[in-house]
Structure formats: structure tokens, C-alpha cells
């Protein structure tokens, strides 16, 4: 699958003002500064599509991006038959300390509402900093998703900042921690927004999810 076009659509303070749920969408969540907005830009091959920042707390609303993708073969044009429209959604981070209790509560409510109620949310990508050993805040978050029954996949980010061996060890420990409580483990990916690592694998995964969505609509 290739991305033919990607553009910013709208920022919403609540699920009520999100775009009409008429196509599948894939959202990025994770701690502040983990690289959610950068990953979205990397996947779309557009450096400045979603706003990124060196200081945490940059993304504060539910941001929808319209995507047109195609699974055309070489030499074919993009047609209705080989293309599809869907959304990527950039969310604010969790665990961000530099806002008031009140503001943080409000964000958490917005995010929880969105994650639990958005009927077209195909997969929630949970981003985890690949440089660190399993963090309690991330493990607690995925456990909560389990309680809520939200389908998700793990994305270990910033792979360029450590050796492959270190990232692999961190991924392994995270999955080992999950295995203590989970019978089935979610799919996982390793990415670098700088080196574009993991781009193909993630896009292929989304493509498969889009296919399932299409089939569910047809049936």
C-alpha cells in the first residue's frame, strides 16, 4: 500500500466534534514526547504535516488527517477500485506532568471517551519509547485497553537512538511483562521516524486492517 495523499482535516476537543465516522481510522497514543506526531509524518512522508516539538505536551486535541491510499500495481493508475480513504488520528500524550490537575483530568476524559466510543477506530497504536525498559505507566495503559476491549498494536519508537540489541531487549521485556497478565499478545513494530524504519510493515498492517473493514462493510 502507498499513501497517495495526506492532509490535515480538523482538531476536535471532544468526540462529539470529530468528523462523521464513515471510514476506518487509526490513532496514535503514548506518553508525551514519545514520537506520535513524528510517526504520523514519517508514515505520510511529509515532515511538517502534524506538529512536533522537543518539549512534551505539543499535541492537545484529537487531530484528524485525511488519507488516500492505493494498492495499485506498478504501471496502474489510482482508481476507485484500488484506493481507499481513511483517517490517521494524532492524539495528545498521557503522563504529561506540566499541566494542572484539572487540565490533565480533562485530557484523560477526552482521550478515554475517544478511545472507547469512536466506532470506526480500527486499531489504536500505542507508542512506547524503545530506549527504555518497561515503564509502569505504559503497562498500566495497555491493561486498561484490555479491560475496555480496545484493539491495539504496540510501536516501539526512536529505534535510531539505541542499538538494535538494546531495542530488542526492551521489546522482549515489555512483552514478557504483558505475558504475566495477557493470554494473547498484540502485534508489535519497531520504528524510527528519522531512518523511516518500520514504515513498510506498519503501512502493510494498516492495509490489511482496511481490507477487513471493507469486507465487514460489504458483508
Ligand X SMILES: Nc1nc2c(ncn2[C@@H]2O[C@H](COP(=O)(O)OP(=O)(O)OP(=O)(O)O)[C@@H](O)[C@H]2O)c(=O)[nH]1
**Binds 63, which of ligand X, Mg ion, none (CB < 5 to 8 A, cut-off by type)?**
none
Distance CA 153, CA 182 (A): 14
C-alpha–C-alpha distance, residues 210 and 219, integer Å:
14
53 binds ligand X (CB under 6 A): yes
The set of residues, in sequence order, having a beta carbon less than 8 Å from that of 46 and lying 6+ positions away, is 6
Nearer to ligand X by Cβ, of 47 and 143: the residue is 47
If one asks whether residue 160 binds ligand X (CB under 6 A), the answer comes out as: yes
Considering the rule CB under 6 A, would residue 38 count as an interface residue with ligand X?
Answer: yes
Evaluated on CA atoms 208, 166, 42, 76, the torsion sign reads: negative
Name the minimum Å distance from CB 88 to Mg ion.
Answer: 12
Is 58 or 64 the residue whose CB approaches Mg ion more closely? Answer: 58
- 95 binding ligand X? (CB under 6 A): no
CA atoms within 13 A on the CB side of 11: 8
Interface with ligand X, residue 64, by CB under 6 A = no
Q: How many residues does the structure list for the chain?
A: 219
Rounded to 5°, the CA angle 94-150-168 comes to 65
Residue 199 Cβ vs ligand X, minimum distance, rounded to whole Å: 11
Residue (of 87, 122, 123) closest to 3 by Cα position: 87
Part of the chain binding ligand X (CB under 6 A), chosen from 80-88, 115-123, 166-174, 189-197: 189-197
CA distance 93 to 219: 36
**Residue 92 binds ligand X (CB under 6 A):** yes
Is there binding between residue 36 and ligand X (CB under 6 A)?
A: yes
Nearest-approach distance from CB 116 to ligand X, in angstroms:
20
Position 45 contacts ligand X (CB under 6 A): no
Residues lying near ligand X in the complex (CB under 6 A) are found at: 32-38, 52-54, 56-59, 92-93, 157-158, 160-161, 192-194
Amino acid at each position: 500500500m502507498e499513501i497517495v495523499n495526506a492532509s490535515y482535516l480538523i482538531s476536535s476537543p471532544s468526540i462529539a466534534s470529530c468528523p462523521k465516522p464513515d471510514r476506518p481510522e487509526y490513532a496514535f497514543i503514548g506518553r508525551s514526547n514519545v514520537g506520535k506526531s513524528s510517526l504520523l509524518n514519517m508514515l505520510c512522508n511529509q515532515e511538517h504535516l502534524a506538529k512536533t516539538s522537543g518539549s512534551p505536551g505539543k499535541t492537545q486535541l484529537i487531530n484528524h488527517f485525511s488519507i488516500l491510499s492505493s494498492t495499485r500495481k506498478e504501471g496502474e493508475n489510482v482508481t476507485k477500485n484500488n484506493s481507499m480513504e481513511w483517517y490517521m488520528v494524532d492524539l495528545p500524550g498521557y503522563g504529561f506532568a506540566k499541566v494542572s490537575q484539572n487540565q490533565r483530568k480533562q485530557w484523560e476524559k477526552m482521550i478515554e471517551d475517544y478511545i472507547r466510543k469512536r466506532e470506526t477506530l480500527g486499531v489504536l497504536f500505542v507508542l512506547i519509547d524503545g530506549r527504555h525498559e518497561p515503564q509502569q505507566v505504559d503497562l498500566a495503559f495497555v491493561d486498561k485497553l484490555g479491560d475496555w476491549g480496545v484493539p491495539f498494536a504496540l510501536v516501539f519508537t526512536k529505534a535510531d537512538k539505541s542499538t538494535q540489541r538494546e531495542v530488542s531487549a526492551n521489546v522482549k521485556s515489555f512483552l514478557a511483562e504483558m505475558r504475566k497478565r495477557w493470554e494473547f499478545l498484540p502485534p508489535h513494530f519497531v520504528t524510527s521516524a528519522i531512518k523511516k524504519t518500520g514504515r513498510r510493515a506498519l503501512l502493510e498492517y494498516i492495509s490489511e486492517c482496511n481490507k477487513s473493514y471493507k469486507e465487514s462493510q460489504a458483508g
